């Protein structure tokens, strides 16, 4: 049984139109996926570096009552993901009271002979501790561009929420730096200094 040439051409045109519409929808979905993911992270609290700094500060200010009856051991970890830097905490751990404003520092250096840009991503152990770990200032809020051979000291200012469950006595704050390809020509911007009293 033969198919009329005109009908076959019309069917081909309809098929091409459907494929074109599908491709456009898929492209639009992929384009919108990144801001959608960032919004989900902002709402749920995943990946704290996506939260506005003002919100971080406001949350910490609301918890100014220091619980001197409790001590929490905060441990610090540093990792690199295919990034030619040296990265380490200036101290491995510190004991803090919930509600106490604390500053610690990390040290990073670029071992390449060209500028390199990286983004630090925080994680917490146990995972639920991230809900109670409020950062006032952190190098993870912004991308960091280091000049060739540059060494930098970067502060983290935080408050452990007094609402932290009593059975959590140790928190591990871990940062992983990822290289951002295509950003290596950006000018290096040193972080703003932030000075507070150390832990008692």
pLDDT digits (tens, 9 = 90+) for 153-189: 999 999 999 999 999 999 999 999 999 886 654 444 5
87: phi then psi, degrees, rounded to nearest 5: -145, 125
> How many percent of the chain have pLDDT more than 70?
65
Question: pTM for the full model?
Answer: 0.64
Q: Is 22 helix (H, G, I), strand (E, B) or coil?
A: helix
Give 172's contacts (C-beta < 8 A, 6+ positions apart).
74, 75, 76, 77, 124, 125
Domain extent listing, the chain: 5-59, 72-188
Out of 2.60.370.10, 3.40.50.1580, 3.40.630.30, 3.40.50.720, select the CATH number for domain 72-188: 2.60.370.10
Rounded average pLDDT over 8-36: 63
DSSP code per residue over 47-87: SGGGS-HHHHHHHHHTT----TT--EEEEEEEEEES--EEE
Backbone angles phi, psi at 78, to 5 degrees: -140, 135
């Amino acid at each position: 049984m033969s198919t009329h040439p005109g009908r076959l051409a019309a069917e081909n045109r309809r098929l091409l139109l459907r494929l074109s519409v599908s491709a456009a929808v898929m492209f639009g979905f992929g384009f919108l996926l990144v801001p959608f993911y960032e919004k989900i992270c902002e709402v749920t609290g995943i990946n704290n570096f996506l939260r506005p700094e003002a919100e971080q500060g406001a949350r910490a200010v609301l918890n100014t009552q220091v619980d001197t009856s409790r001590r929490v051991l905060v441990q610090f970890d540093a990792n690199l993901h295919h990034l030619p830097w040296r990265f380490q905490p200036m101290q491995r751990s510190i004991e803090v009271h919930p509600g106490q404003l604390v500053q610690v520092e990390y040290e990073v250096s670029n071992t390449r002979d060209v500028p390199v840009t990286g983004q630090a991503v925080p994680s917490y152990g146990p995972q639920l501790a991230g809900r109670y770990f409020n950062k006032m200032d952190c190098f993870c809020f912004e991308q960091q561009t280091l000049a060739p051979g540059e060494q930098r000291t970067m502060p983290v200012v935080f408050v452990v929420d007094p609402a932290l469950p009593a059975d959590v006595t140790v928190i591990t704050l871990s940062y992983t730096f990822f290289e951002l390809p295509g950003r290596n020509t950006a000018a290096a911007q040193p972080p703003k200094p932030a000075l507070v009293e150390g832990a008692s």
